[in-house]
Amino acid sequence: SDNSYLEYYENGLATRIKLNKSVVSVGNTRGRCDYKINDNTISKRHADFVSRNGKFYVVDCDSTNGTYINGDAKRIQSNVEYQLFDGDRITLADFDLTIKC
Protein backbone atom coordinates (compact mmCIF):
# COMPACT_ATOMS: atom_id res chain seq x y z
CA SER A 1 0.00 0.00 0.00
CA ASP A 2 0.99 3.64 -0.21
CA ASN A 3 1.36 3.58 3.56
CA SER A 4 4.28 1.15 3.50
CA TYR A 5 7.62 2.36 4.78
CA LEU A 6 10.98 1.48 6.24
CA GLU A 7 11.74 2.83 9.69
CA TYR A 8 15.05 3.37 11.40
CA TYR A 9 16.37 5.23 14.40
CA GLU A 10 18.97 7.95 14.17
CA ASN A 11 20.00 9.74 17.36
CA GLY A 12 16.98 8.21 19.07
CA LEU A 13 14.50 9.57 16.53
CA ALA A 14 12.42 7.36 14.27
CA THR A 15 12.84 8.18 10.60
CA ARG A 16 10.68 6.75 7.83
CA ILE A 17 11.51 5.99 4.22
CA LYS A 18 8.28 5.80 2.23
CA LEU A 19 8.01 2.84 -0.12
CA ASN A 20 5.69 4.70 -2.46
CA LYS A 21 7.13 3.73 -5.83
CA SER A 22 8.14 0.50 -7.55
CA VAL A 23 11.82 0.74 -6.57
CA VAL A 24 13.34 2.76 -3.72
CA SER A 25 17.12 2.53 -3.58
CA VAL A 26 19.02 3.16 -0.35
CA GLY A 27 22.70 4.03 -0.02
CA ASN A 28 25.10 6.61 1.36
CA THR A 29 25.74 8.75 -1.70
CA ARG A 30 23.34 11.31 -3.10
CA GLY A 31 22.81 10.90 -6.82
CA ARG A 32 23.44 7.16 -6.62
CA CYS A 33 20.29 6.28 -4.67
CA ASP A 34 16.81 7.57 -3.85
CA TYR A 35 17.39 7.76 -0.12
CA LYS A 36 20.68 8.63 1.54
CA ILE A 37 21.63 7.24 4.94
CA ASN A 38 24.64 8.82 6.62
CA ASP A 39 26.62 5.70 7.47
CA ASN A 40 29.96 4.97 5.85
CA THR A 41 29.58 1.18 6.23
CA ILE A 42 26.69 1.38 3.73
CA SER A 43 27.59 1.26 0.05
CA LYS A 44 26.90 4.09 -2.42
CA ARG A 45 23.82 2.22 -3.63
CA HIS A 46 23.47 -0.53 -1.10
CA ALA A 47 20.02 -2.07 -1.63
CA ASP A 48 16.83 -1.67 -3.60
CA PHE A 49 13.40 -2.10 -2.04
CA VAL A 50 11.01 -3.33 -4.71
CA SER A 51 7.22 -3.09 -4.54
CA ARG A 52 5.20 -5.26 -6.93
CA ASN A 53 1.62 -6.50 -6.76
CA GLY A 54 1.31 -5.61 -3.09
CA LYS A 55 4.43 -7.56 -2.16
CA PHE A 56 7.81 -6.20 -1.09
CA TYR A 57 11.31 -7.42 -1.82
CA VAL A 58 14.85 -6.39 -0.98
CA VAL A 59 17.71 -6.69 -3.46
CA ASP A 60 21.33 -6.25 -2.39
CA CYS A 61 23.14 -4.17 -5.03
CA ASP A 62 26.59 -5.81 -4.78
CA SER A 63 27.18 -4.00 -1.50
CA THR A 64 30.53 -4.23 0.24
CA ASN A 65 29.26 -5.10 3.71
CA GLY A 66 26.15 -7.09 2.86
CA THR A 67 22.42 -7.09 3.52
CA TYR A 68 20.88 -9.35 6.13
CA ILE A 69 17.28 -10.24 7.00
CA ASN A 70 16.04 -10.75 10.57
CA GLY A 71 19.50 -11.12 12.07
CA ASP A 72 20.52 -14.04 9.88
CA ALA A 73 24.30 -14.44 10.01
CA LYS A 74 24.45 -15.16 6.28
CA ARG A 75 24.20 -12.21 3.93
CA ILE A 76 21.65 -12.40 1.15
CA GLN A 77 22.87 -13.10 -2.36
CA SER A 78 23.36 -9.93 -4.43
CA ASN A 79 20.97 -9.09 -7.28
CA VAL A 80 18.33 -11.57 -6.06
CA GLU A 81 14.89 -10.53 -4.76
CA TYR A 82 14.05 -11.68 -1.24
CA GLN A 83 10.45 -11.22 -0.16
CA LEU A 84 9.84 -9.13 2.94
CA PHE A 85 6.95 -9.27 5.38
CA ASP A 86 5.56 -6.75 7.82
CA GLY A 87 7.93 -6.24 10.74
CA ASP A 88 10.96 -7.83 9.07
CA ARG A 89 14.29 -6.33 10.06
CA ILE A 90 16.69 -5.60 7.22
CA THR A 91 20.30 -4.85 8.12
CA LEU A 92 22.44 -2.93 5.64
CA ALA A 93 26.02 -3.51 6.85
CA ASP A 94 25.41 -2.70 10.58
CA PHE A 95 22.41 -0.44 10.00
CA ASP A 96 18.95 -1.74 10.93
CA LEU A 97 15.71 -0.90 9.14
CA THR A 98 12.27 -2.35 9.87
CA ILE A 99 9.64 -2.68 7.15
CA LYS A 100 6.02 -1.80 7.86
CA CYS A 101 3.76 -3.05 5.09
> pLDDT for 60-69, tens place per residue?
999 999 999 9
Give this prediction's pTM.
0.95
- List beta partners, residue 77: none
Of residues 51, 57, 59, the one with CA closest to residue 2: 51
The helix/strand count (H/E) of the chain reads as: 0, 10
Residues 6+ apart with CB under 8 A from 62: 43, 78, 79
Q: Which stretches of the chain are assigned E, i.e. beta strand?
A: 5-10, 13-18, 23-27, 35-36, 47-52, 55-60, 67-69, 82-84, 89-92, 95-100
* Amino acid present at 76: I
> pLDDT for 25-35, tens place per residue?
999 999 999 99
Residue segments in the chain with a per-residue pLDDT below the cut of 50: none
